[in-house]
């Protein structure tokens, strides 16, 4: 047996040595999938396969870079292969989008594109959509370009073109708006010899489908195909994989249906579930040995995920010891919950644990604010993965309304919100207003301006006569943008939840006199930074990571806190009064499974009896997920009693929490 195979377990070796025909590697969390892929590529090269005949596709530049580095390290360590590798014979390892760029550039004449065609990112695409709306005589203030761009992107991911979409939209109003704008958008892209990010995949799939010679060329070029994170592929990515492999069927896909958590991005779990149907002679290898987590963590994760019906059966195991039990902590409020999390994190740090090895996960972004406050109050270094609470656009918009109402000289704030909701007031008008040139504004525009400043007058009056929370509620009601978000996409709903959390945060200042209440709140909001700071040596400081569960995918930490485990929060109700569908419910369970499997040593699960939502106290039951973890794997923290003052301080009772 080759020496390099000694580093692999039995199932990993099986996957590495199966080089011919279709192979499905079902790789559980922490089971060494990247190691398996890179050793498989190395084995192919060592067996005499031309490195240029090998391709490996993944989803992120980081993952592609790591894979390239690992393959290079293996090859350079082999005396017989080092010279070959350094001479430039290397496998093609990239993201799906980079693959699309490669194929399109090589066939640009066939597509009528210059070799250095423009690639428009999401911001560029949104700008073009906005222009297309104007061309089609629609107000970009009325029809959100970002939302239209979201629809276009989703349809392209399904392999749908603008003409195809136009044929199938029926008589619904908004899809008809989208269709007209999309067709115009495509004309603009064509004029500018540009493709957007979704086109890089869609055009590639179309090219391979329509041109047999080009398809055959790439099938002959890449004889050994590897697709990472196959459960996250959308329709077009699936098509590309099939088109490249159909002649030789040497395709190896790696993934885990239990970690499919991106359906809202277009990921189709069906791609991995039907692999054996697509490739009847496929070899299936289960990587079930986990090298990351303790036995206790894996037993809990297995119990959680086995309740899903749509999955590929597997059971993670480890040779590690059982380790610490899973801590379960019940609090009276979200403030007490955050205080507990911060205190536990501080205790770990004081015992010598690096802050970098601690992560705090939450289902929804609005939960981060209370956690940030708790970490700041104890002086614990932390960093947010994603946008900090007060840096989020919807939060800035809401606060700008109040600041503009109370300070008519704050033109930054006025300029930010003067077209929320849409009023059609252009930048030229704003500049005239700023410099006192009101007489230069037309009567029609003047009426719109008057309506806006009338709104500011009402907000100012509300701020001076009401509490901070009532003021924020008034802003959301009078502008309507909070309600509009609540009816939008999943992303919009999340932004609406952030606005609700802003109201909750403001309610803490309601005991202060009117006017003072909102002013104090605005001042504290402006000072709430929580930025990462360098240490004394100028190096980046180690920090506890605060992030959504989605953001934690692919990461691992010694200690993981999973917060807000309350029914309707995690699993997330997502604003649906009728409850979750089976598909949505199973994806929520997969999301919790992903959260559990981020931890190496210990997990803390926290939830609150009550949580303040939109300034109102709501009472919640524990998440159904907590009932699914066997009691022998958990240890219950003391039950926190309600604090009399409501300031987050609490006493502990020796009471066991039973599920």
Known catalytic residues are: 33-34, 228-229, 259, 598
| Rounded to 5°, angle at Cα 596 from 594 and 598 | 75
3-class DSSP state for residue 336?
helix
Give one word for 579, left, alpha or beta, with left for phi > 0 and alpha for psi -120 to 50.
left
Spatial separation of the C-alpha atoms in residues 205 and 201, rounded to whole Å:
6
Q: Please answer whether residues 244 and 225 qualify as being in contact, where contact means their C-beta atoms are separated by less than 8 angstroms.
A: yes
Q: What are phi and psi of 100, to 5 degrees?
A: -60, -45
Q: Please answer whether residues 629 and 299 qualify as being in contact, where contact means their C-beta atoms are separated by less than 8 angstroms.
A: no
Q: Taking the CA of residue 318 as centre, how many other CA atoms within 13 Å lie in the half-sphere pointing to its CB?
A: 25
Spatial separation of the C-alpha atoms in residues 390 and 401, rounded to whole Å:
14
Q: What are phi and psi of 269, to 5 degrees?
A: -60, -25
State the CB neighbour count (10 A cutoff) for residue 95: 19
Q: Label residues 57-94 b or e (16+ Cβ within 10 Å = b).
A: bbbeeebbeebbebbbebbeeeeebeeebeeeebbbbb
Q: Where are the beta strands (DSSP E) in 152-280?
A: 194-196, 224-227, 251-255
**605 is written with which tokens?**
């699960």
**332 is written with which tokens?**
């009276």
SS3 for 287-323, per residue?
ECECCCCCHHHHHHHHHHHCCCCCCCCCCCECCCCCC
């Amino acid at each position: 047996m080759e020496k390099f195979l000694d580093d692999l377990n039995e199932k990993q070796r099986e996957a590495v040595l199966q080089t011919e025909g279709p192979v499905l590697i079902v790789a559980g969390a922490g089971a060494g999938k990247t190691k398996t892929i890179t050793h498989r590529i190395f084995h192919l090269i060592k067996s005499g396969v031309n490195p240029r005949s090998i391709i490996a596709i993944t989803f992120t530049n980081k993952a592609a870079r790591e894979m390239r580095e690992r393959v290079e390290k293996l090859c350079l360590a082999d005396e017989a292969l080092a010279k070959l590798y350094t001479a430039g014979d290397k496998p093609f390892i990239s993201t799906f989008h980079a693959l699309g760029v490669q194929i399109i550039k090589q066939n640009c004449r066939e597509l009528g594109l210059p070799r250095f065609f423009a690639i428009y990112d999401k911001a560029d695409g949104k700008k073009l959509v906005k222009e297309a709306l104007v061309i089609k005589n629609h107000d970009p203030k009325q029809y959100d370009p970002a939302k239209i761009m979201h629809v276009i992107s989703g349809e392209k991911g399904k392999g749908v073109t603008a003409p195809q979409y136009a044929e199938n939209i029926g008589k619904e109003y908004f899809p008809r708006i989208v269709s007209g704008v999309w067709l115009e958008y495509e004309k603009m892209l064509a004029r500018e010899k540009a493709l957007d990010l979704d086109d890089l995949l869609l055009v590639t799939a179309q090219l391979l489908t329509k041109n047999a010679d080009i398809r055959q060329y790439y099938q002959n070029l890449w004889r050994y195909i590897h697709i990472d994170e196959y459960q996250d592929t959308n329709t077009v990515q699936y098509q590309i994989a099939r088109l490249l492999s159909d002649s030789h069927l040497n395709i190896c896909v790696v993934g885990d249906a239990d970690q499919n958590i991106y359906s809202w991005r277009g990921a189709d779990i069906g791609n991995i579930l039907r692999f054996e149907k697509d490739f009847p002679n496929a070899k299936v290898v289960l990587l079930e040995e986990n090298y990351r987590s303790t036995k206790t963590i894996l037993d809990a994760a297995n119990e959680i995920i086995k309740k899903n019906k749509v999955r590929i059966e597997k059971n993670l195991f480890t040779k590690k010891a059982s380790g610490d039990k899973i801590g379960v902590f019940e609090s009276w409020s979200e403030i007490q919950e955050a205080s507990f999390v911060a205190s536990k994190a501080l205790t770990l740090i004081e015992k010598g644990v690096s802050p970098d090895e601690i992560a705090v996960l939450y289902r929804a972004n609005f939960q981060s604010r209370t956690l940030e406050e708790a970490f700041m109050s104890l002086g614990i270094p932390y960093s947010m993965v994603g946008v900090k609470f007060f840096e989020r656009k919807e939060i800035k918009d809401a606060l700008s309304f109040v600041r503009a109402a109370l300070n008519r000289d704050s033109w930054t704030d006025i300029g930010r919100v003067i077209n929320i909701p849409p009023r059609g007031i252009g930048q030229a008008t704003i500049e005239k207003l700023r410099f006192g040139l009101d007489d230069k504004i037309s009567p029609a525009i003047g009426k719109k301006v008057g309506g806006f400043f009338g709104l500011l007058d009402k907000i100012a009056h509300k701020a001076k006569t009401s509490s901070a929370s009532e003021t924020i509620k008034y802003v959301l009601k009078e502008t309507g943008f909070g309600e509009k978000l609540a009816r939008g996409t999943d992303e919009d709903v999340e932004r609406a939840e952030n606005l609700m959390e802003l109201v909750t945060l403001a309610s803490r200042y309601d005991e202060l006199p009117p006017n003072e209440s909102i002013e104090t709140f605005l001042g504290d909001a402006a000072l709430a930074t929580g930025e990462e700071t360098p240490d004394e040596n100028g190096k980046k400081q180690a920090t506890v990571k605060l992030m959504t569960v989605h953001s934690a995918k692919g990461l691992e930490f010694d200690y993981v806190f999973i917060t807000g485990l309350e029914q309707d929060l995690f699993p997330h109700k997502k604003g649906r009064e009728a409850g979750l569908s089976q598909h949505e419910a199973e994806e929520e369970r997969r999301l919790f499974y992903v959260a559990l499997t981020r931890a190496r040593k210990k997990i803390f699960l926290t939830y609150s009896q009550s949580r303040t939502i939109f300034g109102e106290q709501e009472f919640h039951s524990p998440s159904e997920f907590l009932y699914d973890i066997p009691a022998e794997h958990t240890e219950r923290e003391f039950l926190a009693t309600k604090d009399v003052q409501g300031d987050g301080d609490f006493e502990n009772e020796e009471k066991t929490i039973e599920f």
